Structure 1
Amino acid sequence: MTATMRRLLTGQNSRQGLWLIPLLIGGIACILLALRSEEFLNAQNLLNLVAQAVPLLVIAIGQMLVILVRGLDLSVGAVVSLTTAILALDAPGYVVLPAAFLAAALVGAVNGIAVTRLHVHPIIATLSMMMIVQGGTMLLRPVAGGTIPAIVTDLVTGEVLGIYMPLVWAVLVLLLGWKLIHGSRFGLHLFAIGGGPEIARAFGIADRRNVLLAYIACSLFAALAGCFLAGRIASGDPNIGTPFALDSITAVALGGTQLAGGVGSLQGTVTGALIMALLANGMNLENLSAFIQTAVKGAILLVVVALQPRRFMGL
């Protein structure tokens, strides 16, 4: 029993990574916020907390897929913004919804091809795509506005069978993420590739194809988060996705997934996303400025990455 607890606390000998300690930190954060602010346990604030956590959770799951294979995707925020801009084109839902996901898949495919075929470093490849996509989004919708199809807003707002819709989204996305990461051959291959591409290739795993699929899936998760945000704000916004690139990486790393690849877990990513949401909620309750909040998140990312074991400089 003691040995099992030690492995859970240290992440030793496990490809699940270190996730129990972040979970304990999240629990402590909840207690501190409840003691410090009477508004924290207010029903409306808790519902807002869930709604704020869902898009980051969705994007973080996609981000985890590429981090498992030693990658990184800085274009996810731009894909979120592009998705809201496409959905706000004042066109029927059956037109803009497929268009948004096709555009996201194209972005992911370009990222994957640049990394696997052109051998561009993931940071450079996805940073370049971030700038390209953000520029296209600004051309498409320079300022916030437009009308979101009713089908999108209906799927995000209100309740179904008495259940708050963001909760429904969270459950469905978690089930999808669990199936992809821990319940499929695809997820198993991602862990194997992250642990050692040469060894995975020797066992017959198509590493390039799986890495390409990971980048496409990551962009599709970002588009899904964009749909959620578009439904919540009922308009397109060319800048709404900006914070999510680094926030999603921070959430994944905070949950114990190794940026060097091959080690991580869905429960860790969920924990990291919830801690980030709690942090944002707490800072909002304390009326801290957006500049301070950004600095705090950056500091957390720096500390978390610095604490991760690495044999050489890089991811």
Structure 2
Amino acid sequence: MENQQTSRASRLLMGRGSRQGLWALPLILAVLMSFFLAFATAQFANSGNLSNLVAQGMPLMITAIGQMFVVLVGGLDLSVGSVVSFTTAILALDAPAYVVLPAVFILAGVIGFINGFCITRLKVHPIIATLSMQYVVLGITRILRPVSGGSIPEFVTASVAGSIAGIPMPVIWGVVTIAIAWKLLYGSRYGLHIFAIGGGVAAGSTEAARNFGIPARRNIMLAYVISALFAALAGVFLAGRIVSGDPNVGLLMELDAITAVAIGGTQLSGGVGSLQGTVIGVVVLGLLSNGMNLMNVTPFVQTAVKGILLMLVVALQSRKKIGL
């Protein structure tokens, strides 16, 4: 009996035999980091710092959750950072909220559709397709908003600031985002399909899901649309927080999102991962950035540390191949 319990604990910690992936170890790491920072720095446990930590990490969490859907089908979306910046630029056009808010999500859906179409129909490699889209969207963003500025609709800023029944608005944003993603991933047939598609890609058989009657192309395209829509949602949150449009606000967010997804145990080869793991990965990155800021580590070193971390978590993943 004791051996069975030990074996179960080992499988949970290592993510073996489960499509949820390795998420328990990152959770333990996040707890240890929290204790370390609480004892090593006087400012970490302050309510103001913790509140800022949640608000600063929310755009990354929303973007990373969207990125997770693409990674689960064996893809990658490098355009999400540009979509975030593009969203803030649209919202800063000094137009009514009832015009610009639907516009940003419609345009994001179009961007995601084009990404998915190029990948599934034109057979363009996901990295090339989404990298090209990144430059296209970034160029349009800088035409609309060459430098930061403009005014954001009051409705957007109000939805980010303050609280409801004592619960800070960033927390409410996080709960709603996780609930939507949970329904898509675990409460719908679509969630089962993307795990099946990604599992086939990871095994080296891109036609495996289709052989079981799963519309692989349509579901992959939808994953890229979901990724873009979540990036737009992150852009709305950021626009309300910085109260302006900024062509550079989403810079490198796609790499942070991929890093968070990988830290949370989602296999970049596809088919294995979890929503809770992605959220934990964002928490680990947030604690790392916050801790380095409190310890006065330069931003250049912070960027290098994140790059090394991404390389390590990808190198440690057990896989037959990376299905990018």
Once the two structures are superposed, what CA deviation does each residue of 1:10-68 show, in whole Å capped at 9, x if it has no partner? 11110000000010011111011111101000000000001011111100100000000
Q: Is 2:61 the partner of 1:61?
A: no
Q: Is 2:12 the partner of 1:8?
A: yes
Match of 2:222 among 213, 226, 234: 213
Distance 1:155 1:258 in 2: 34
AA aligned opposite 1:59:
T
Moved over 3 A (4+): 312-315
Match of 1:88 among 89, 92, 97: 92
AA aligned opposite 1:250:
T
Q: Is the 8 A contact 2:87 2:235 kept in 1?
A: yes
Which residue number in structure 1 is paired with residue 271 of structure 2?
262
When normalised by structure 2's length, the TM-score is 0.96
Cα offset, 1:314, TM superposition: 5.7
Distance 1:79 1:313 in 2: 25
Cα offset, 1:198, TM superposition: 1.9
AA aligned opposite 1:210:
N
AA aligned opposite 1:187:
G
Match of 2:41 among 37, 44, 47: 37
Match of 1:201 among 185, 199, 210: 210
Match of 1:178 among 177, 182, 186: 182
Distance 2:72 2:323 in 1: 15
Distance 1:101 1:287 in 2: 38
Distance 1:150 1:173 in 2: 21
Cα offset, 1:2, TM superposition: 2.1
Cα offset, 1:184, TM superposition: 1.1
Distance 1:67 1:303 in 2: 17
Identity rate, percent:
61
Distance 2:184 2:59 in 1: 18
Q: Is 2:176 the partner of 1:167?
A: no
Distance 2:123 2:196 in 1: 20
Unaligned runs of 5+ in 2: 201-205
Distance 1:85 1:65 in 2: 25
AA aligned opposite 2:90:
I
Which residue number in structure 2 is paired with residue 223 of structure 1?
232
When normalised by structure 1's length, the TM-score is 0.98
